């Protein structure tokens, strides 16, 4: 089955700096790769996603890149703000079935 690894497990950056979180997946059949932000006591919320037919996607300060050959994808957050502090999860799925999540990255943005 699919296995998703995520690094780093914790990340501290200064406000205004960039943050990068990386995930690898094992199943070449996976074709959808979302990123979620989870704040304390809440459910995960989708922040950006990418399909396997696209190499990069950007939404304001957030971008995701996908390398299908190497089976890895990354989340890039630029100009970080204190409100970006949260736990971030990557995931992989095949046509919306059997989502597998990474273990999460706790991002702290220091003022």
Partner 1 sequence: NAGVTQTPKFRILKIGQSMTLQCAQDMNHNYMYWYRQDPGMGLKLIYYSVGAGITDKGEVPNGYNVSRSTTEDFPLRLELAAPSQTSVYFCASSPMGAGTDTQYFGPGTRLTVL
Chain residues binding partner 1 by CB under 8 A are 1, 6, 32, 34, 42-46, 49, 89, 91, 93, 95-104
* Smallest separation (angstroms) from partner 1 to the CB of 14: 25
Please say which residue, 96 or 111, places its beta carbon nearer to partner 1. Answer: 96
Written as six digits, the tokens of 12 are 């501290």
* Smallest separation (angstroms) from partner 1 to the CB of 16: 28
Please say which residue, 80 or 93, places its beta carbon nearer to partner 1. Answer: 93
CB 36 within 8 A of CB 96: no
Burial class of residue 93 (count of CB atoms within 10 Å of its CB; 0-12, 13-18, 19+): buried
Written as six digits, the tokens of 88 are 């971030």
């Amino acid at each position: 089955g699919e296995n998703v690894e995520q690094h780093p497990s914790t990340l501290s950056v200064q406000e205004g700096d960039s943050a990068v979180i990386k995930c690898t997946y094992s199943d070449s059949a996976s074709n959808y790769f979302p990123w979620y932000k989870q704040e304390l006591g809440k459910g995960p919320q989708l922040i950006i996603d990418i399909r396997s037919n696209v190499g990069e996607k950007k939404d304001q300060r957030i971008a995701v890149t996908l390398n299908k050959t190497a089976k890895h994808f990354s989340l890039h957050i630029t100009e970080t703000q204190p409100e970006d502090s949260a736990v971030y999860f990557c995931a992989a799925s095949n046509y919306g079935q059997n989502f597998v999540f990474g273990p999460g990255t706790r991002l702290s943005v220091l003022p």
